[in-house]
Structure 1
Amino acid sequence: MSEALTQKQTLPQMLAEMAARYGEHSAIVEHGMPISYRALHQLAREAARAFMALGVKKGDRVAIWLPNMSEWIIAACGVHAAGGVLVPLNTRMKGEEAADILDRSGTRVLFSVGDFLGRYYPDLLQGLRPKTLESIIVAGDKVQTSADLSWAAFMQLASKVSAEVQLAREAQIQPDDTADLMFTSGTTGRPKGVMAAHFPTILAFKAWANVVNLRHGDRYLVVNPFFHTFGYKAGWIAAFMAGATVYPEQVFDADSILRRIQDDRISFLPGPPTLFLTMLSHPKLSDFNLSTLQSAVTGAATVPPILITRMREELGIANVTTAYGLTECGGCATICEPSDDAATVANTCGHALPGTELRCVDENNQPVPAGQPGEVLLRGYHVMKGYFEDDKATAETIDADGWLHTGDVGVLDERGYLRITDRLKDMFIVGGFNCYPAEIERMLADHPDVAQVAVIGIADERMGEVGCACVVARHGVTVDADSFIGWCRAKMANYKVPRYVVQLETLPVNASNKVQKRELVGVVKELLANSSATVVNHTVFNGGSTC
């Protein structure tokens, strides 16, 4: 990688340097069509001029609600080059969820998709469109209304702004300016916007790429969604800094991914454990030639030690490693070395990234000895600037000494390797996506049959964890499983939809009337262990897969 990356840079400056360095080498290959580094840089600046023609000023928010596709990357680079702030939106969100983020972020321009998963995404905002949202651009061939700009029409707006004006805007951007606003769910029940700057992102994922051995010439299949730090920052940003080629993949399908690894000679493939478990269980795995696949990074959920061994032996991946992070620290804080043994890679999250301080503390914020559990605290250059327009929540998460309180409980060994053992907060992880019970409970409280509800995470062999809604019904009614799950799917992203619904007469509470989640987990585990039907005493419903 270039020595200039050790200097403080912005993301547009990084892309300009990579375009100069790698020129005609493919930055993206989509549907067999390559986009070179030089062409990508030109398209990004063209998109920046188009944004400026729409009135986007330095610091304005622009949202992207697209699946993994080249337009996502071009639009994001254009937002950065126009001095805007990128707001990625989860493509599994329903209209109410997306509208809430668009409204609270004050987003002026939205990039959406015309045809994905059988939906026309702008229609999801009917009756919900925030007043601040001035323009919607629709990528793809399907543009239904005259009020929506097509991708081609958007790019044509670039002719209204000169290259000189755009370059002047780009020169105004500072390395410590906010580059993106990524909304993460939280214990308060509403997503919070995490503000991350340009240079910390570059520095953190340069270090990440070095450890995982991501190199020039690698063919990187990005299955992790671009709206997630795993697909965005550890995805195409890390790839571009290494001079690798990005192959976007929109939907996870084991057969398709195995075929792409073979046909596109993929060498680098990160993803949650679910991805690799599904590949390993494919009935025709041995029919595919996976010999080019050399490196993989997993994490974001519990990793069985046998999985690391099987990835190395059955998939033939020489370099397998795991990492740990959260949106509030840019997505990555610790990482294992590819040379670490299978037990270390599976049972720990690795050591701290260079420039990151890591400690585990007791309830008095005092460091605990090696081998003793404590809350995981992080401090370093890539800790977020704060939560968007939420000083109170920022102060509750980052203390006066700059330590980020993760809410995770972990153990540091004598080597400085971290093992996550528990969570202070109730979060659980479904197939790599964080789920916060308070957010789901807030939505479920609107269900007409729900008097009280508590959501917990339950272990699942394929997804790592899945949600279980523990419901006390109104007026003694019996909750209908199919209609309840259907109602949930209409209101929230699929990974948030409870897989199980347990109807109880009461919820266990303490003297302060707070639901005792740990006691509830024990009750539910016993009920599910004794249930072989979809409806049993206490009314246990299995809602099926939600991802």
Structure 2
Amino acid sequence: MSELTIPALLARAAKEFPDAEAVVDGDVRVTYAGLRDRVREATAAFVGAGVGPGDRIAIWAPNGLRWIVAVLGAMGARATLVPLNTRFKGDEARWPLTRAKVKVLFVEDGFLGIDYPGMLGLDESGAVPGLPALESVVTFNGPARPGVGTWEQFVSTAAPADEADARAASVQPGDIADILFTSGTTGKPKGVMCTHEQNVRTYTAWTGRTGVRAGDRYLIVNPMFHTFGYKAGVLACVLKGATMVLQRTFDVPETLRLIEQEKITVLPGPPTIYTSLLDAPGKEDHDLSSLRLAVTGAADVPVALVRRIRAELFPQVVTAYGLTESSGTVSACSVDDDDETIATTCGKAIADVEIKIVDEKGEQVPPGTDGAVLVRGYNVMKGYLDDPEATAGTIRDGWLDTGDRGRLDERGNLAITGRTKEMFVVGGFNVYPAEVEDVLARHDAVAESGVVGVPDRRMGEVGRAYVRFRPGRTATEDELIAHCRERLANFKVPREVVVVDDLPKTASGKVRRVELKERR
């Protein structure tokens, strides 16, 4: 079995850390040896169900032990994972299920009060109209019903163990491990294909840079249908033999309880997780002293927030940057980096990956100059599923156009200044929302913000800031605008501030500026 496959990672973890806790899911605790046995049983079930190399299986369920067992079992059968966002409606899920020709779909009945098979139009006969490739639907937790089998029924049809072991041993580094569909802010979501080798190499580099290690207790609150929860969570933990403590949805009191009860050491997440924890009522009533490492995304992380996290919650904070098309990671700071580097950049490219900043003509620009961020290396996706035109438009001469803007410093550290598509132009000058949001975050009343460009008769566009205050804090519109004017060029200063109770977020916790632009 090649070391550059995901089944090999699990085999190694079970051998090196057989008695270490692998997964804590509510009252259920499973060691790495126990996880290996459950996954082996699942692989045999996939083989017995006729799932062959290259077949696609989908999981439409929240974080849970069976999510992990199902995906690792499927990969042992040389199948490919297609994870689905638990917030998807029927038509949203139907697109990736159709596009990827998914053969088996796993769901959790009743999560968030949702009938997932019902949303697909499952009829009384058990058929799902318009999904001819879909052979079976399996529920992780519910009773059997027409067209939906139980997990127990699924594993009861297992192939012989030696047949399953032979299949797992045949997994190749170049096999497609997963197809994650992008959020699709423009057009239909596209399926990003990544191999076993890409995932193993990328998260070997990621854990080496960030410092996740054996013995860590990692709270996975990031959804596992996203790269942050699945790759930087499950795969990273299996790779290092760390313990995965699972939380189904982010809930501040529950997160605080789990940190204290399970002695959590590592808690990666988007900025909103940390702002919520920092301002949580009753935070002082919990022992949070076990916390060691926070890892957060860099494109939308204000400097002031990074410094506050370091001061009040975690002795080590690391910022990183990536996108689905780069196997989830491009660059990361190191725990050995100085405070200023961690607070103002997302670090250097991970091992054997290159970053280049180019201007509008595609010419490389000097350090310190803003431009488009391009990436080249083993982590760049194999392409978009059945879409060579979109692939060719995104990867040129081996360089992935990330769609982000940024700059490199003299030492090769990357700073993201914003999304090319989210940039707006004020009187001929480019404004990147992340820069303005960073300044707003330095005001002690501001918890988080989202900045967008809105039409203006004289300037073409001007900035509008949507701001959520910290509990018990407030500020006037004039105060916030004055705060920005002291720190930004005039064209970057928001002309308007709108106070909100919450901001629309993606599944990974990033502010959805596209939705903010639609507000009036």
Q: Do the two structures share a fold, i.e. TM-score over 0.5? A: yes
Pairing 1:419–2:420 present: no
Alpha carbons 1:113, 1:122 under 8 Å: kept = no
Partner of 1:203: 201
Gap regions ≥5 residues in structure 2: 123-127, 425-432, 441-445, 467-475, 479-497, 506-520
Partner of 2:450: 465
Q: Structure 1's 218 and 258: CA in aligned 2 closer, same or farther, altered over 3 A? A: same
Q: Distance in 1 between matches of 2:414 and 2:151?
A: 45
Alignment of 1:427-506 (within 5 A): 462=447, 464-465=449-450
Q: Post-superposition shift, 1:463?
A: 5.7
Partner of 2:265: 267
Q: Distance in 1 between matches of 2:422 and 2:70?
A: 35
Render the CA deviation track for 1:503-523: whole Å, top value 9, x for unaligned. Answer: xxxx889xxxxxxxx945647
Pairing 1:150–2:153 present: no
Partner of 1:357: 354
Counterpart of 2:139 in structure 1: which amino acid?
A: V
Alpha carbons 1:270, 1:296 under 8 Å: kept = yes
Q: Distance in 2 between matches of 1:92 and 1:464?
A: 23
Q: Distance in 2 between matches of 1:219 and 1:139?
A: 25
Render the CA deviation track for 1:9-45: whole Å, top value 9, x for unaligned. Answer: 2111221111111112111111232111111111112
Secondary structure of the structure 2 residue equivalent to 1:12: helix
1:278 pairs with one of 261, 276, 279: 276
Partner of 1:168: 166
Render the CA deviation track for 1:185-211: whole Å, top value 9, x for unaligned. Answer: 346411000000001111111111112
Partner of 1:494: none
Q: Distance in 2 between matches of 1:265 and 1:464?
A: 31
Q: Post-superposition shift, 1:465?
A: 3.5
Secondary structure of the structure 2 residue equivalent to 1:425: helix
Alpha carbons 2:4, 2:201 under 8 Å: kept = no
Percent of counterpart pairs with the same letter?
44
Render the CA deviation track for 1:269-321: whole Å, top value 9, x for unaligned. Answer: 10111001000101211111011111110115422222222222211x11111
Equivalent residue pairs, number: 457
Counterpart of 2:40 in structure 1: which amino acid?
A: R
Partner of 2:103: 108
Q: Post-superposition shift, 1:367?
A: 1.0
Secondary structure of the structure 1 residue equivalent to 2:329: coil
Alignment of 1:298-447 (within 5 A): 298-299=296-297, 301-315=299-313, 317-399=314-396, 401-426=397-422
Q: Post-superposition shift, 1:53?
A: 2.1
Alpha carbons 2:295, 2:318 under 8 Å: kept = yes
Alpha carbons 2:298, 2:346 under 8 Å: kept = no
Q: Distance in 1 between matches of 2:139 and 2:20?
A: 28
2:241 pairs with one of 240, 243, 251: 243
Alpha carbons 1:302, 1:464 under 8 Å: kept = no
Q: Distance in 1 between matches of 2:116 and 2:32?
A: 30
Secondary structure of the structure 2 residue equivalent to 1:275: helix
Counterpart of 2:71 in structure 1: which amino acid?
A: A
Alpha carbons 2:307, 2:343 under 8 Å: kept = no
Pairing 1:27–2:32 present: no
Q: Distance in 1 between matches of 2:295 and 2:207?
A: 11
Gap regions ≥5 residues in structure 1: 429-455, 471-506, 510-517, 531-539
Partner of 1:487: none
- Aligned-residue Cα RMSD (Å) equals 2.9
Q: Structure 1's 351 and 545: CA in aligned 2 closer, same or farther, altered over 3 A? A: closer
Partner of 1:15: 10
Alpha carbons 1:230, 1:331 under 8 Å: kept = yes
Counterpart of 2:70 in structure 1: which amino acid?
A: A
Secondary structure of the structure 1 residue equivalent to 2:87: coil
